[in-house]
Each structure stands twice: as structure tokens, then as C-alpha cells.
Amino acid sequence: MPPGQYVPRGWPVLHYGPVPKFRPKDWDFRVFGATATGGQHRWTWDEFERLPRASAVADFHCVTKFTIPDNHWEGVPGSAIVELAPPDPEATHVMVWAEYGYSANIRMSDFLADGTMFATHRDGERLPPDHGFPIRLVVPHLYAWKSVKWVRAVEYLVKDRRGFWEERGYHNVADPWREQRYSYQEDEGDAPPL
């Protein structure tokens, strides 16, 4: 268990803004930005459901200090997205975009890490709407604000830039084992260039 964390009863619901309505006919998932071709990739909901899948058992660490141990996640791995929509060789980070313009930045190495996936299921059940249905990114080795709910797109970046919470004072990297909660804790090299 990372320092400063505790195991709560249940799985607390935390998010900014309302829970979006899922409209499968209008929903799509896009990859854009610094792609290898310079173009955009797009999948409808039916197409996304047919993408390569994986599963992983991992803890879930919230910056508000709770940890949910041993979640069984199922979904589309970040590595599968990179195979299907290759980034430019210069891409170093991704910005994950969600409904209502919410975003979180992560390093490409975190996006490709084992266990990182666009989860559709937890513990054998479809994610509920307040936990990110239809998909949420899960990055088990980082604090959960990086595990974006209601994901709609991935933008490949050739240089880092801050996402929604990072612009509001949260740590740019978010490693729970190092208690990287807030931007004032950043070391040189943790933050994007100005």
C-alpha cells in the first residue's frame, strides 16, 4: 500500500461535473495529434467493442488517500491503441480527453505500461455510469485522477503539457509510491516546459 493511503468501505465516487449520458450511435473514440501518419483515427462504439482486449488485477489509488485493492479490470490496453494508431516517433506523452473537455496528461511509458487500459469492466461487471461507463482509462501505478472517466480521445504529444487537474495544482506525474500529490512537490524534470 502506498504511504498515506487507507482501504475504504466500498468504491467512493469522485468526479468534477455531471455524469454524461451515453449515446452509442453518437459516441466515438479518436486518436489524433502527433500520429505517425499525421492523420486521425476513429472508432465507433461497435468498433471499439471489437478491439483487442486484456485483463489485469491491480490496485486503484486515489489522491484523496483511499486505495481499492485487487480490482480485476478488463478493456483495451493502451499498447493496443498504439499498435492500431501508431504515434510519431517523437511523441513522448499523451493527453487523454473525456466528455466536457476534461483531460489528463501522462507519459507515453505510463500509457504503454502493463495494466494500463481503457477499461469497460471491473470485477466482471460493466462499469457503472458514475465510475466512467462506457470507458475509463485505468493507469494502476498512478493516482486515479490520471485514470480518466468517460474517455473520448487520445492526443499524442511531442512535448508534455498539463491536463485539467495538473493546471489546478496537482502533480504532473502522480506516482502514489512517492506521494506526488501536488505541483509544489514537483522536482525539476517532473513538469512540462513553460
* Mean per-residue pLDDT, 119-125: 96
**pLDDT over 90, % of the chain:** 80
The CATH architecture of the domain made up of 24-181 is Alpha-Beta Complex (3.90)
Q: Count the helix, strand and coil residues of the chain and give each as a percent rounded to the nearest 5.
A: 20, 35, 50
User: Per-residue pLDDT averaged across 43-64, rounded?
Assistant: 95
66: which DSSP letter? Answer: B
* Residue 2 CB coordination number (10 Å): 15
* Residues 180, 183, 186, 191, CA torsion sign: positive
* Each residue's pLDDT tens digit, 157-169: 999 999 999 999 9
pTM: 0.93
